[in-house]
Amino acid sequence: MKRTLPILITFVIGVIMVGEFFIPHWRYRALTGELLEWGIILTAGAFILGLVNLIQVHLPTVVERGTDWGYKAVLLVSLAVTLAMGFSNGKQRLDSGMEVSFSYKWIFDYVYVPLSATMFALLAFYIASAGFRAFRARNAEATLLLVAAALVMFASVPIGEGVPVIGEYLVALKDWTLDVPNNAARRAIFIGAALGAISTGLRVILGLERSHLGGD
């Protein structure tokens, strides 16, 4: 029963939700909408469990002065302060339309946003280092990759387009590379992934896949 019940629930809910794609009738959508709301409530409830997990993982280290306890203390203090600010009322408006207190908006604007932007900006350096390794012409495939990447990059910037005589041919070749071989490979990946997704979904819905329940 411990294993059969989850499989039964998965099957019924899975079939209903697959049906949503094929049945646009508003009565059916009312039913699936209700199920989706249950899902949203579950997801929201899981945030409380996430909070508990953060405290369970980091608080003992801070209390016992374990390795890197300072970082964990910063995390817990930041969590407590942001949470407290989140509960206070205010009339400041975030981009999402949510009204928050001045202190919460200050944390959002002057701590959260710059930190996120910094992490995102680091991507440029990571792309450079990964590109340097990927574009080393070690074999025929890597050389082909290097040539294709160099062509696309060069023809995508104004200086490439402005090269006398061959500039327009470079752009045309770049467009062809992106539209034909690149697009063909992408579509093959999409079709394969879509079939894999259907297959995985059906395996779970039909109860063939049980590894998430601890196997047979």
State which of positions 63-122 bind another protein (CB under 8 A). Answer: 67-68, 71, 112, 115-116, 119-120, 122
Q: Between vectors from CA 49 to CA 45 and to CA 53, what angle results, nearest 5°?
A: 160
**Residue 163 Cβ, how far from another protein at the closest point, in Å?**
26
Alpha carbons within 13 angstroms on the beta-carbon side of residue 135 total 13
What is the distance between the alpha carbons of residues 60 and 24, in angstroms, rounded to a whole number? 52
Q: Which stretch binds another protein (CB under 8 A): 6-14, 90-98, 99-107, 159-167?
A: 6-14
Q: Which residues contact 208 (CB under 8 A, 6 or more apart)?
A: 202
Q: Does 130 bind another protein (CB under 8 A)?
A: yes
Return the residue of 126, 140, 159, 162 that touches another protein, per CB under 8 A.
Answer: 126
Token pair 């369970």 is at which residue? 56
Q: Which of 121, 120, 88 lies closest to 104 in space, CA to CA? A: 88
Q: Does 211 bind another protein (CB under 8 A)?
A: yes
Q: Restricting to residues 23-62, name those near another protein by CB under 8 A.
A: 23-31, 34, 39, 42-43, 46-47, 49-50, 53-54, 56-57
Q: Does 180 bind another protein (CB under 8 A)?
A: no
Buried b (16+ CB within 10 A) or exposed e, 179-209: eeeeeeeeeeeeeeeeeeeeeeeeebbebeb
Q: Which is nearer to another protein, 90 or 196 (CB)?
A: 196
Q: Which is nearer to another protein, 127 or 166 (CB)?
A: 127
Q: Does 5 bind another protein (CB under 8 A)?
A: no
